[in-house]
Structure 1
Amino acid sequence: MKRYFILFSGRVQGVGFRYFCYTTASTLGLTGSVRNLSNGCVEVLVQGEEDKLTSLLQVLLRGNGYLRIDDYSLKEIPLVTEERKFTILG
């Protein structure tokens, strides 16, 4: 089990990215959150089995036909044991 902080930049706001991330993460059984940042980036905090985290990242990088990811950074962070679902934040 791992938890990642992922920051995406590019055309990632106003293109359904948060919902796309939410549905994909929920389908994979991952927990965490996704939110837009004021600088135009999207922040994802996600937790689960490593193979499912890899699958999520692969799907997000392929996109939904509208978004464009120019760059992303990924950092492993401490687990949040009480987290039970994936949510979209403001």
Structure 2
Amino acid sequence: MKKVRMIVQGRVQGVGFRWSVWELANSLGGITGRVWNREDGLVEILAQAEDAAKMALFIQEVRKGPSPFSKVTYVDVTLANFPSYEDFAIQN
């Protein structure tokens, strides 16, 4: 299982970014985790997948900005260790 933590910078709050990430994860299938807005204006994502190719595609699409109104300027992706999730959800 590959687990990553992503910190996303840019115009990513108030533009449907979290919902678009949720939709992307669910459309790819096999991606579980969480996405939430941080108080500093960034978005944080914890994502996990068995399929490395799906995870690579998920990361690639997040870098593009899955919401048409978002503008991603930088994504920091690091391997992470967190409890496993059964689904992908938006956290408040």
Q: TM-score, normalised by structure 2?
A: 0.89
1:31 is aligned to 2:41: no
Identity %: 31
SS in 1 for 2:13: coil
Show the 5 A alignment for 1:37-76: 37-48=38-49, 49-63=51-65, 64-76=67-79
Determine the C-alpha separation between the residues in 1 that align with 2:73 and 2:27: 25
* 17-26 or 69-78, larger mean C-alpha shift: 69-78
SS in 2 for 1:33: strand
Q: TM-score, normalised by structure 1?
A: 0.91
| Deviation of the 1:65 alpha carbon | 2.0
Unaligned runs of at least 5 residues, structure 2: none
Q: Aligned residue pairs: how many?
A: 89
| Deviation of the 1:79 alpha carbon | 5.5
Q: CA RMSD in A?
A: 1.2
Instruction: Extract structure 1 runs of 4+ deviating beyond 6 A.
Output: none
* 45-54 or 57-66, larger mean C-alpha shift: 57-66
CA deviations on 1:2-42 (whole Å, 9 max, x unpaired) are 00000001100001100000010112221000000000000
* 69-78 or 6-15, larger mean C-alpha shift: 69-78
SS in 2 for 1:13: coil
Unaligned runs of at least 5 residues, structure 1: none
Show the 5 A alignment for 1:2-41: 2-29=2-29, 30-41=31-42
| Deviation of the 1:50 alpha carbon | 1.3
